[in-house]
Amino acid sequence: MGGATAWVRGSQWYPLPMLLVISTGVSGRAPAENVTDDQCLIWNERGHLSKRKGRKMKFLLLIAFIHFLPQCTGKPLSLDEHQHCHQQTFKEIKREIAGYSDIAKAIINLAVYGNAQNRSYERLARFVDAIGPRLSGSKNLEMAIKYMFSVLQEDSLENVHLEPVKVPHWERGEESAMMLAPRNHSIVILGLGSSVATPPEGITAEVLVVTSFDELHKRAQDAKGKIVVYNQPFISYEETVKYRLLGAVEAGKVGAVASLIRSVASFSINSPHTGWQQYQSDVPKIPTACISMEDAEMMARMSSRGTRIVVTLKMEAKTYPDTGSFNTVAEIVGSKYPEQIVLVSGHLDSWDVGQGAMDDGGGAFISWEALSLIKDLGLRPKRTLRLVLWTAEEAGGVGAEQYYQLHKGNISNFDIVMESDSGTFMPMGLAFTGSDKARAILKEIMQLLQPINVTNIYENGGETDTEYWVRDGVPGASLRDDISKYFWFHHTQGDTMTVQDPNQMNLCAAVWTVVSYVIADMEEMLPRN
Ligand SMILES: [Zn+2]
């Protein structure tokens, strides 16, 4: 969608300050995928994560131990050679996981009750208050990436770096909608991402209200020259979002001049909920915006009484050429299999309204918190724990797609891809996609979260940004939490820090950290199909 351009490390399009950042700021260590064992050993001896007494001795013993391990241990599971190697039985794996119970308790204690209590919340508040909303292609998003690049370095994480990508750049400009008949009424709207503008004087037309695409097709004759208003019921986001995505295309096909779409939301205080939409090249592009549930229902009532409705829609929306942006990356490099990756993530971009605190500030900041907690406990997992803060998710997973294209050659080294992008409210468990064997292992890992009673496993562990990997068979996990209020605020002016709760974020961070750490530290990668 939108910006699915090839990854180019061109220099002409990204701004000079960013060039300075990537050319001078990248820390001395090579990205984990390229780290050799030698580099790893040198760093371990100097590393700020290992200052305890006797560490050196333990370290030498560890090296000796590693030396005697079967050669294939920890190798990517997709290689044929693994068939000839010893693999742990499920009983052994169960025992191994149970052995992490003290570490899990330490993580929970630090995140929920200890020094790190409320840290991810406070970091997020400082960030969203300073930067505000961060739409793909905007100056704010560029500032947000610079901000994260510097705070991740200040947090002493490793391999902090930016990976350039090209992203869509759309701006809404001024916009308004006014009902002229049967009475004057100001309709609150938010233009949909990638919408075209109206002429400067606006579009004034009669309204046709429909409740479904079926009804629109049946009344196709009536739609010509009209503004189509969709008043579809909210069933679920997944089910109902098609009206936002395709409403303008379907209305354009039957000759409508604009479309206004009831916000895809479970609750409303006259709030429009924006989002991206898609045109088709063979269908006329008509301006499109979302309206509140209240206005959609009112126009539906008026029209069912046979009342003629006339609306003037004005939108300045404009699409600019794709622009330079970055996925932001930081790591804790693995001690034993540094080339193998456990990826934790959230997206840094947001809509251009509210503060993007919930979508997806919370997910991005609990993912950072996972690395911080592990570092603070002096832990270093066997595999590399990699934080990725995606850019341009809202424009269709654009940053994540280019990341996948760049790194998919290394897919056998990706142990699991994790993204939190469905809120950081009260956690309930983990959604997971992967083999039955991997699911059984995850179930055991979730038992480590008994102390905070978050042990459930659900289906569908892929999110927009991790789906590329999950489709190719990499196990995927996403955080599951109480989303009963998520679609109250989603893509609205109401998505602010006020929605977030520090205690819930502590619990989410604990879940995210225990799961990612244990998977990164277990002797074997998760089995694939
Ligand atoms: Zn999101």
Q: Are 256 and 311 in contact (CB under 8 A)?
A: no
Q: Distance from first CA to last CA of the chain, Å, rounded?
A: 29
- How much distance in Å is there from the Cα of 101 to the middle of ligand 1? 32
Q: What average pLDDT does the segment 43-64 reach?
A: 43
What pLDDT is recorded for position 87?
A: 84
Q: How confident is the model at residue 72 (pLDDT cuts 50, 70, 90)?
A: very low
User: What are residue 102's phi and psi, to 5 degrees?
Assistant: -70, -40
Task: Tell me: pLDDT of 66 over 70.
Answer: no
- How much distance in Å is there from the Cα of 265 to the middle of ligand 1? 15
- How much distance in Å is there from the Cα of 500 to the middle of ligand 1? 15
Q: Are 478 and 429 in contact (CB under 8 A)?
A: no
Indicate the pairing of strand 427-433 with strand 158-171. unpaired
What pLDDT is recorded for position 529?
A: 79
What pLDDT is recorded for position 70?
A: 43
Q: How confident is the model at residue 77 (pLDDT cuts 50, 70, 90)?
A: low
What pLDDT is recorded for position 46?
A: 31
CB proximity list for 82: less than 8 A, separation 6 or greater: 72, 75, 76
Residues belonging to the active site = 393
Task: Tell me: pLDDT of 75 over 70.
Answer: no
What pLDDT is recorded for position 23?
A: 36
Write out the residues surrounding ion ligand 1, Cβ under 5 A: 359-360, 421
Q: What average pLDDT does the segment 57-64 reach?
A: 52
User: What are residue 341's phi and psi, to 5 degrees?
Assistant: -120, 130
- How much distance in Å is there from the Cα of 350 to the middle of ligand 1? 7
- How much distance in Å is there from the Cα of 76 to the middle of ligand 1? 30
Q: What average pLDDT does the segment 243-270 reach?
A: 98
